[in-house]
Structure formats: C-alpha cells, structure tokens
Chains A and B, each alone.
Chain A
Amino acid sequence: MNGIEFILANMLAAATPFLLAALGELVVERSGVLNLGIEGIMALGAVIAFIIVYHGGGHAAAFLGAGLAGAGLSFLFGILALGFRANQVAIGLAIGILGQGLSALIGNSYEALTVTGLSKITLPGLSGLPVVGGLFTQDAVVWLSLIATLAVWAMFRFTRLGLVIRAVGENPKAAHAIGYPVIALRHAAILFGGAMAGLAGAYAATVYTPLWADGMIAGRGWIALALVVFGTWMTGRVFFGALLFGAVSLGGLAAQAQGVPLNSQLLSSLPYIVTIVVLGIISSNRRLLKINGVASLGEPYER
C-alpha cells in the first residue's frame, strides 16, 4: 500500500471524530449559541463508550451511552447559557474543564487499557477499484456519519426546521416576535450538538484508536470548533474541512512510513499548525464571514 492509498483508505475514519463533533456544533452555532465545551464533552463520551465496550456492552450501547452523556453535559451548558444567561465563552470553558475532569475521574482505573474496534463494511464492486478502493471499506459509524452529514445538509437546505434554526440564529428577537420558542429551539440544538460530540468521542476511543488514556481527545474538539469557522457555517464545507484534517493527521504518518525523516513532535503539532494557518486565511475574508456568519452567535438572548 503506498502513501496515497493509505491516506485514502483511512482518511474517512480519521475525519469521523472531527466530522461528528463539527456537525453537532454547526447546528448549535447556526441557532446562535457558541458551545466551547466540545473537547470536554467528547472526552466524557469517549470514556463512557470505552467502559461500556470494555465490559462487553457492545458498540451500539456504547455509542448510545456516549450520546446520552454528551447530551447530559451539554444540557448543563444549556441551562447556564440560556437559563442563567451566563457568558457563553466562560460557561463553555467551564463545561470543557468539567468534562475533561469527569472523564479522567471516571476513566481513572481504565487508563491505558484497550478494546477491540469495529469491523469494516465493504461496498461490493467499488472497494475493488485500484487506488481509491480503500475509500469504500469503512466501518459502520463512518457510513452513518456520512449519512448524518447528508441529513444535516438536507435539513438546512430543504426543511422548515432548518429555516427556523437559521432564523433564530440570525435574529432571536424577531423569531420570538413571530412566535418561535427561541429558548426551546436553542436547547434542542445544544442537546443535539452535545450528543454528536459524545458520539465523536465514542468513535475516537472505541473505534479509531480503541484505547482509553486521559487527554486522548488531544484538541480534536477544538479543531472541530475551528472546522465550523473554516466551513463558514456550511455543511458541505465543514465536511471537506474534516476530510482535510483526517488527511493531515495521516499524511505525516504516511510520509514517515515512506522513510521521510519527520520529527514526531512536528507530526503531532501538524493539525494544530494547519488549524492556525487555515483559520487565519479564512477569517481574514471578513466579507465571507459576515455573509455566512450567524449574526447573534454567542450573544445572550433576553426578551
């Protein structure tokens, strides 16, 4: 297997934690709320899922548990951000710290243990193709997250729910004035975003690298937040951003395997460096951010 084939075969799996978390956060931000606690919510989902799989509960139960845990922690975020009208930046940081602390506490006696991941499902015919064949041999969660991407895209593109979420994010006062329950909708978006982050963590800890270690999310939640900006709040672009990060995190490994002398610390930093560079490039286009951005993002809503 050469470098390109290696990257193509594994890119989707590497991208999945980013993609799931970013899709959730995309919906949250579209509704006008900034949840910076994704990293901690992912960590909590990861440890819950790991423990369930470790004790033989199976992956389905693990993902369910992780989704519920993620939704639960994000509900706390919602209560504080919407009910108490706390500063969303501060409360997001607090939830993130709490989530990471809880994951470390819960996972204390599972540190460095491993479990078995998921088997791959191949698309007959396509997976036999040269070079790109690896793309079509993926585990079930990857296939499901591709479906989730399409679903989120279709929701914003075609459904009234998508329209309402955009309206609430642009102008919550007006949405309230014509009768939409702004707070309830935002709570729902936050729960969805938290559940998705929980699933993202579950994938990271039980499928992609099936082991538990404190700090294993390693900034992927923050990169997911950056991905929403890269994608300028558009589903398709967020998807391609996630793929890019999947490829970046594999590219170094592939190069190393080919004998390119790459420093391993540089390799680990690569996703962060790429994040900073791309964030700079996208953000400097203020017009683009303004056109696609969410007008009320992060502002407490008071009627």
Chain B
Amino acid sequence: MPAPLLSLRGMTKSYGQVRANRGIDLDVAANSIHAILGENGAGKSTLMKLIYGVEEPDEGQVFWQGRPVRLTSPAEARRHGIGMVFQHFSLFETLTVVENISLIVPGAKADLARRIRALGQDFGLEVDPSAHVHSLSVGERQRVEIIRCLMTEPKLLILDEPTSVLPPQSVGLLFDTLRRLRDTGVSILFISHKLDEIQSICDRATVLRAGQVTGNVDPREHDAHELARMMIGRDMPPPLHADARTPGEKRLELAGLDHVEDDPFAVSLHGVSLTVHAGEIVGIAGISGNGQAELARLISGETRLSEGERDEVRMMDQGVAHLGPAERRALGFAFVPEDRLGRGAVPEMSLADNSLLTAHPLGLLRHGFIDRAKEADFTAACIKDFDVRTPGPEAEAGALSGGNLQKFIVGREILLKPKLLFVAQPTWGVDIGAATAIRQRLIAMRNDGVAVLVISEELEELFEICDRIQVLHKGHLSPSLDPRATKPEEIGRHMIGADIPLREAV
C-alpha cells in the first residue's frame, strides 16, 4: 500500500487555556475526498490552519507523501502542493479578482486573467477576472478562492465548510466540481458538520470531538445515528416541533422598504416587505451577504431613517424608522445581533456589565447611577436560567465560548420580556447542545405570544422553528412561504433569485 498523501501524528495546539487540538492522527489517501466531521468548536478549523501552515502546532509531526515536513507558512504548504479555501475567505475587497490571485500566483496579470477564464470553464467556476471583489456575491467569492487554489496546482485542496455559502442546488454543482478534481488527481479535505453532505460525497471521514479524534470511518457504511454519536457523544437531538397557531396582531411591519447605504460596500435593499405577528416565528433565509446585515440594522435602529420616513419601519403599530435602538427597545423590542463579540457584548467587560448594555431599564439604575447589587442579581439569574457555563457574573465576556456567550445574550434579551424579539443567526458557531436550547427558547417565546423574527443561514433550523419563511437575495425579499408545505429546493430557488427579474438575478 502506498504511503498516504498526508499523515498527521499527534498534532496538538492550545490557545491560552483552550486545547483546540489534542494528539490528532490523520491519514489522507491520494485521489480521495476525505471529510473532517465535527460540530462547532470541535477543533476542525484549527487543524486545517495547522495543515496549511497558518499556525504552527505545539506538538506533532506532519508527513507529506511519506516524508516528514515542517509546514511553517502557507507559502511552504503551497510549495508542497497544499491549497486552502477559507470559510470566511481570505480575499481583499478593494482589489480585483486578478489582483487577489496575483498575491499568491506569480505571473503577468493578462496571463493570469486568461488562466482564470480557462479554469473557470473547465470546472464550472466562471468569474470576471477584472471585477472588484466587493462587487461579487458570496458564491462568486468562493469561486475566486477555489480558482486561486487551483492555479497553484495543488495535490491536496482543503475546503472549510464550503457549502455554508451555497443554496441547496448549487451544492450539487460544487460536488460535481470536487469529484472532477479528485478524478484529475487532487485529494480533497472537506470540512463540515453536515452529516448528509459527508455521506453523499466523501470516501473517508475523520470525526473530531472536543479537539480529539473519535472516529475514522467510511461514512457510507455508517448511518447518521452512529456518526452523530461519534460527533457529539450522543444521538442528534430530535427535531423540535412547533404546532400551528393562530397569530395575533402585527408587531413588525415593513412595506416595500427601499434603502441604499452610505457604505459603498454594502448591499442595497429593494422593496422589502415583511410582517411579523404576535405568536409566530418568521424566518429570513438566504446566504449571508445578500442584505441580511443591512436589513438587521434597519430593524434594530442602528441605521436610522429621517423623520419623514418614519413609517418605513413600523413596530407595535408605530412608525419607528427614525428612532434609535434604545427608543425601539422602550416599545418592547429586543435584538440578538449576528456578531456577539464587539456588538452584542463588550469582550473586555464582565458579564455583569454586559447585562447593563440592554437590560438597564429593568431597575438596574438608580438616579442615573448603576445599582451594582441589582446588576449582579440580574446577571446571576440570566446565567442560571439559560445554563451559561461560566465562573460567574464577573467573568469577562471575551473569555466565554461562542455557545455560552450566545446563551447569555439570548437570555439577556429574553429576560427583557419583549413583545418583538429579533434574533440574527441564533446558532452561528454554537455547539449543538446550546443550539437546541436556544431554539427551544425561541419556540417557547412564540407560544407565549411573542412575535419572533429570525435570520439564519441554516435552512434546517428555519424549517424546524418557523411558521413562515421569506428568502433574502441581493437585497430582495421573497414572498412568505409556508415551511410545512414547501420543499427546501423551493426555498433554494429563491436563494438564487428565481422570483426576481432575470437581469438582476445574475
């Protein structure tokens, strides 16, 4: 048997107290598609950074085609024939596609542009070489990343959660591309937390849990239950179920909102209509980067419109588009933003001080001064009610894991007893246990008559908890769809803009 293309032995990496990778062994065969399966926080991305030379391991050995090597930098890794497509992309928005590519591929620009076009045609990855990256959609950016890797003629291509930026039907196309690549002699390391994807494309799977290898299997020979047990140590939690209910009065209404941002890199919104009633969960699906951030800021009040446009956003039957976040909150609005650190919470502040951020109207102040005792009580209650794993209210927000901080922020907003709760990306980067807990809470809120709006990239999540789903694509919001009567493929059609005029959809 020939030596594997890549072998890792005992790879270990710590960040401060966090041991992200512990003694990981891995063998990737030539001409194979190999999955790294694990939930958020299992250490997948760290392992890939070690392989690509972005980070150096504390301990461990790397063998490339049987010979020991040290991968001290990405350039070194590329020289051996390793390429990587990052989850959050390593592209530069103000540069053109060809400039981005020339940063790691030598050659004259005209020559590079020609090769970009040629590769694009060969593998179904067409992109305009002279376009600026900020003008590209998320899917196009992924194509640029993949092309950039292919131009270094790799023997091993690492893809970090590549399907998270694709609509369901494009996933198939990506898989076709990957199979074609494998057949031309490129091995692929495919990182995912989605069991079905791995079963459909991968020849081999290495499962990670809490920084350690818990399985090394052929994914086609194991069912989802077994894989899940390797991944999270138990069965997947059963899908939640929300019974149909009759919704109450309107709590949020946008009627054909158009908005162009000051920021030239932002997405403009076109005729967005959206209504959320008491006692229902409305989900906004779509790949992020299609106007989600801009829409969220308009609803939260971080983007304010003029007095004359006050009715562009209506909450609790009032025009609020001209009001700031604090004034909207006073009407019974609460919001969990998609980025936790630096927006939903101040990383350098204690959890107690982070409670104050939005919960100060709950009697945490006295004559404009902070009531430290009340602040501590509130924080302790939030930590207890929402099972936040932390040493206590004095712990700094930045020291919490993603899932625990998300539970804290969701908890803080729920304890405000809002009439309208808006949660953007409730489970981004959150482990499965915390994600399930958060979804259960959202359903409980809805059952208590709260109007809930959720933005999520995870279609399964929206199908699980939503009463209605609308899809955002290039700043257009689709009409509302009933998840109980709609197939994911139908949503997927909207994700690539099937319902808007063709000219704009491309």
Contacts and interface: CB of A to CB of B under 8 A. Distances in A.
Touching chains A and B, CB distance < 8 Å: yes
A178 B104 contact: yes
Contacts of B99: 163
A176 B86 CA distance: 12
B162 interface: no
Nearest to B54: A177
Given A178-B103, A179-B53, A179-B104, A167 B264 contact: no
Given A167-B95, A167-B103, A177 B264 contact: no
Q: Interface residue tally of chain B, by bracket?
A: 20 to 34
A178 B90 contact: yes
Interface stretch (B73-81, B321-329, B332-340, B490-498): B73-81
Contacts of B320: none
A166 B264 contact: no
B102 interface: yes
Given A167-B103, A179-B53, A174 B262 contact: no
A174 B75 CA distance: 14
Nearest to A168: B92
A174 B74 contact: no
Interface string A267-302: 000000000000000000011001100010000000
A290 B263 contact: yes
A166 B92 contact: yes
Contact of A170 (B78, B92, B102, B262): B92
Interface in A232-266: none
A149 interface: no
A287 B264 contact: yes
Contacts of B104: 178-179
A286 to B, nearest CB: 6
A170 B93 CA distance: 8
Q: Interface residue tally of chain A, by bracket?
A: 20 to 34
Contacts of A295: 93-94
Given A179-B78, A179-B104, A286 B262 contact: yes
Interface in A160-211: 160, 163-164, 166-167, 170-171, 173-180
Contacts of A178: 74, 90, 103-104
A163 B92 CA distance: 10
Contact of A163 (B49, B86, B102): B102
Contacts of B93: 170-171, 295
A177 B104 CA distance: 11
A45 B52 CA distance: 44
Nearest to B73: A179
B12 to A, nearest CB: 19
Given A160-B102, A286-B262, A287-B262, A177 B86 contact: yes
Interface in B84-121: 86, 89-95, 99, 102-104
Nearest to B84: A177
A286 B102 CA distance: 30
Contacts of B265: 290
Contacts of A177: 49, 52, 54, 74, 86, 90
A176 B88 CA distance: 13
B263 A174 contact: no
Contact of B92 (A160, A171, A179, A286): A171
A167 B92 contact: yes
Nearest to A286: B262
Interface string B256-279: 000000111100000000000000
B92 A174 contact: yes
B148 to A, nearest CB: 9
A173 B162 CA distance: 19
Contacts of B54: 176-177, 179
A186 B78 CA distance: 24
B264 A163 contact: no
Contacts of A160: 102-103
Contacts of A164: 103
A176 B74 CA distance: 9
Contacts of A176: 54
Nearest to B93: A170
A285 B49 CA distance: 40
A170 B134 CA distance: 12
A174 B90 contact: yes
B103 A163 contact: yes
A110 to B, nearest CB: 46
A288 to B, nearest CB: 9
A179 B264 contact: no
A109 to B, nearest CB: 48
Interface string A71-105: 00000000000000000000000000000000000
A38 to B, nearest CB: 25
A160 B106 CA distance: 10
Contacts of B89: 174
22 contacts: A164-B103, A166-B92, A166-B94, A167-B95, A170-B93, A170-B95, A171-B92, A174-B89, A174-B90, A174-B91, A177-B49, A177-B52, A178-B74, A178-B104, A179-B54, A179-B74, A179-B75, A287-B262, A290-B262, A290-B263, A290-B265, A295-B94
Given A170-B93, A174-B90, A179-B53, 19 more contacts: A160-B102, A163-B102, A164-B103, A166-B94, A167-B92, A171-B90, A171-B92, A174-B86, A174-B91, A175-B90, A177-B54, A177-B74, A177-B86, A177-B90, A178-B103, A178-B104, A179-B54, A287-B262, A290-B264
Which 10 interchain pairs have the tightest Cβ spacing? A179-B74, A174-B90, A179-B75, A177-B90, A167-B92, A170-B92, A179-B73, A291-B264, A178-B90, A177-B54
